[in-house]
Each structure stands twice: as structure tokens, then as C-alpha cells.
């Protein structure tokens, strides 16, 4: 919207509706084979639950879903963000959580988002165990 207003294509009084951000997330995840089952957000915490729509290996897909915490934070700027991955049949498989401090550090220090894999909290929901953090 800012760019459209700047070049005179949209009146200054027009603004983007907040719902557009979640639609961008939903469409992006759909293109990756994930359905958004639940989404809750406020300044303090945002939670996204996604269900796999493919028949691919859930062990690989859960890792794919873990990267969505950064996307969720970019849209919400909540202090805590989490993404829960459900297998195609709806069985809870994996939970990834991280704080805004991590994402702010990534942006401030121009770190690669792969740092998330080392510093985010990851829980194997099928086996009820915390995944040990990777060494830095």
C-alpha cells in the first residue's frame, strides 16, 4: 500500500486491512502443501497450527514446518511465536517455538535464518520429548 500511495495509484486515506497479512501466510503455506488449521495472535504470543496436505514423509515435513516461525514473527511481531505441525491425518507431530529476541538478533546481526534450528525450542509431540538444541 505504501508504494501504491507513493506513486499516486491509491488515495492516502486507504489502508491495508489487518486480515491481509494472515491471507498472505495462508496462501503461502498452501503453496507449500500445508493447510492452516488454527491461527491466534496478539502482541504477546502468536500460534499457528498447520496440517500437512501431502503424503510425503512427516519427518521431513515437520522440519519444513519449523521454518514458519520466522514467517509468523515477520507478520505478527509477537514476543513469542509457535508453529504446530499436524500430519495429514491430523496427528500432532511437532512444535517449534521461538522468541522475538531471536528474530531481532537475526535481523540486527544479519544472521542466516538457519540459526533458528540451533536456537528455537522444538518438541517432538509424537514422543513427548524436547529436541536438543544444535551446537552453535
How far is the C-alpha of 77 from the C-alpha of 97, rounded, in Å? 14
Quick one: the chain helix, strand, coil %, rounded to 5? Answer: 35, 30, 35
DSSP state of 14: -
Q: Is residue 107 part of a domain?
A: yes
pTM to 2 decimal places: 0.83
Identify the pLDDT of residue 136. Answer: 57
Q: Is residue 124 part of a domain?
A: yes
At a CB cut-off of 8 Å and minimum separation 6, what does 72 contact?
Answer: 25, 46, 48, 78, 81, 83
Residue owning grid cell 514476543: 79
13-71: pLDDT as tens digits: 666 666 677 788 889 999 999 999 999 998 899 999 999 999 999 999 999 999 999 99
Parent domain of 126: 2-131
* Domains in the chain, number: 1
Q: Is residue 11 part of a domain?
A: yes
Q: Is residue 136 part of a domain?
A: no
Amino acid at each position: 500500500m505504501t508504494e501504491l500511495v507513493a506513486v499516486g495509484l491509491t488515495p492516502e486515506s486507504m489502508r491495508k486491512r489487518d486480515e491481509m497479512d494472515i491471507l498472505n501466510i495462508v496462501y503461502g503455506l498452501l503453496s507449500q502443501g500445508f493447510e492452516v488449521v488454527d491461527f491466534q495472535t496478539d502482541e504477546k504470543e502468536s500460534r499457528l497450527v498447520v496440517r500437512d496436505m501431502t503424503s510425503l514423509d512427516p519427518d521431513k515435513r515437520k522440519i519444513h514446518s519449523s521454518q514458519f516461525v520466522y514467517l509468523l514473527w515477520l507478520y505478527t511481531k509477537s514476543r513469542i511465536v509457535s508453529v504446530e505441525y499436524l500430519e495429514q491425518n491430523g496427528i500432532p507431530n511437532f512444535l517449534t517455538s521461538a522468541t522475538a529476541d531471536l528474530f531481532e538478533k537475526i535481523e540486527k546481526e544479519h544472521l542466516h535464518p538457519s540459526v533458528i534450528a540451533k536456537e528455537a525450542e522444538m518438541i517432538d509431540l509424537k514422543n513427548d520429548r524436547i529436541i536438543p538444541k544444535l551446537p552453535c
